[in-house]
Amino acid sequence: MEKWLSLWSIGQNGTPSDFTAIKQAGFDGVEIWAEQHRSKEYLDYAKQVGFKIGMHLPFHDLNLATPDPVVYERTFHVLTEWMETLSKYGGRHATFHGGYAWSSEERDETLIRIRERLLSLNEKAKQYGIELLLENLIPDKLNYCHHIASNVEEWLDLIHEANIKACLDIGHLAVMGDNLETTIAKLGSALGAVHLSDNDRKSDLHLLPGEGENLSKDLNNYLEAYQYSGPIVYEINPYKYSLQDIIEHITKVNV
């Protein structure tokens, strides 16, 4: 397995020397957070240091499942542009959110729409040599909007139908209330990346491992049991921790 860092975790003012420090701490790769102010500079720094590169595609104001054709066109265009940029840096994977239905009553028709759109997006991804990873999201507990995918069965269906892979966010999964080992077993070879952070199973706090309910306890054993060898991406709250905190944690423990 490979140890990666989400660059969301380093905040908006990362420097080339931060990237060197991340490398020295033993990280193999970085996941570019496309929405950061300096994500393009971060791509350059990552390349200079020799990291493996992936990307978390942008999602704010971009609803891939929208009923509005103009919003969809814009979303598709922005995601495609980022995949093109990522491919120029030799990037491997692009994690993305499936968007949401405006109301839970519209869930079924929204799922029909998103199925087609995932196929189109994957056509583009293949052109750029990028592997698309659909991330599991936290359900809207009010049941007002429906986030895609916020239950495991729906997630698996979409991944298999579109022939894409999954980014398993273990913090989101805990808030969804699903079991980690069972979910890893169900994903099997469709698992493309893991997002690692801790929380209290109620809120998506993005804590360092061990500072919440210790969600990543036994994670490595489960992943090994199902022959997973891809990225484990630390996705840690930059508003609570510094890069130094993360590096100190990493030097103390293995994943």
Q: Which residues bind Zn ion (CB under 5 A)?
A: 135
Of 21 and 166, which has the nearer Cβ to Zn ion? 166
Encoded amino acid at 93, one letter:
H
Q: Which residue's beta carbon is nearest to the bound Zn ion?
A: 135
> How far apart (Å, rounded) are the C-alpha atoms in residues 15 and 108?
45
**Distance between CA atoms of 93 and 249, rounded to whole angstroms?**
26
In angstroms, give the least distance from the CB of 135 to Zn ion. 5
Q: Which residue number, 22 or 55, has a Cβ lying nearer to Zn ion?
A: 55
- Cα–Cα dist 119/125, whole Å: 10
CB of 48: closest distance to Zn ion in angstroms? Answer: 26
What is the 3 state secondary structure string of 172-207?
HHHHHCCCHHHHHHHHHHHEEEEEECECCCCCCCCE
Nearer residue to Zn ion within complex by CB, 131 or 135: 135
- CB of 21 or CB of 164, closer to Zn ion: 164
Nearer to Zn ion, 21 or 180 (CB): 180
Q: What is the closest distance, in whole angstroms, from the C-beta atom of residue 22 to Zn ion in the complex?
A: 20
- Beta carbons within 10 angstroms of residue 119's beta carbon: 13
Report the distance separating Cα 196 and Cα 235, nearest Å.
6
Burial of 23 (0-12, 13-18, 19+ CB in 10 A): middle
Name the minimum Å distance from CB 9 to Zn ion. Answer: 13
Q: How far is the CB of 156 from Zn ion (least distance, A)?
A: 18
